[in-house]
């Protein structure tokens, strides 16, 4: 359908785009409702329906997500490569527990590189509600 950019999380094109080493932007909301956009590395777990971003617990993005509490807050993560793009929309919560941090670090290392040690590390865990994008079909 023309103009419909919704993607299936289990589409092989989505998996391939998330295997490639793309940086992304994460958009969180400040207390006054204005957007805060920063570059991040992101990983995606289609089976769990989760995207994860590791960061320091003192970062603005972590503070914005933490302020929302356990109900989470709406966020968007967008990665692009030339004319191809993929946006993850969902509700984010902050995870501080060692198991969540270790899992997010493991996934980050598999996609990008082993993250430097950071005792203040936390995970922004995004329960994905929608994937939007325009990805190559293999013939593009």
Alpha carbons 123 and 126: distance in angstroms, whole number: 9
Q: What are the sequence ranges of the domains in the chain?
A: 12-132
Alpha carbons 3 and 126: distance in angstroms, whole number: 25
Determine the average pLDDT of the residues in 8-14: 90
For the chain, report the end-to-end CA distance as a whole number of angstroms.
18
pLDDT in tens, 26-84: 999 999 999 999 999 999 999 999 999 999 999 999 999 999 988 999 999 999 999 99
pLDDT in tens, 104-139: 999 999 999 999 999 999 999 999 999 999 998 866
The CATH number that domain 12-132 falls under is 2.30.110.10
Alpha carbons 20 and 24: distance in angstroms, whole number: 12
């Amino acid at each position: 359908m023309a103009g419909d950019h919704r993607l299936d999380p289990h589409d092989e094109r989505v998996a391939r785009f998330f295997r490639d080493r793309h940086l992304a932007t994460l958009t969180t909301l400040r207390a006054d409702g204005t957007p805060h956009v920063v570059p991040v590395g992101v990983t995606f777990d289609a089976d769990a329906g989760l995207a994860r971003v590791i960061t320091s617990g003192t970062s603005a993005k972590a503070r914005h997500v933490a302020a929302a509490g356990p109900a989470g807050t709406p966020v968007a993560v967008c990665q692009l490569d030339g004319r191809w793009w993929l946006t993850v929309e969902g509700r984010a919560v902050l995870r501080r527990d060692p198991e969540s941090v270790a899992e997010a670090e493991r996934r980050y290392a598999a996609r990008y590189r082993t993250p430097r040690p950071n005792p203040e590390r936390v995970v922004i865990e995004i329960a994905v509600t929608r994937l939007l994008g325009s990805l190559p079909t293999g013939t593009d």
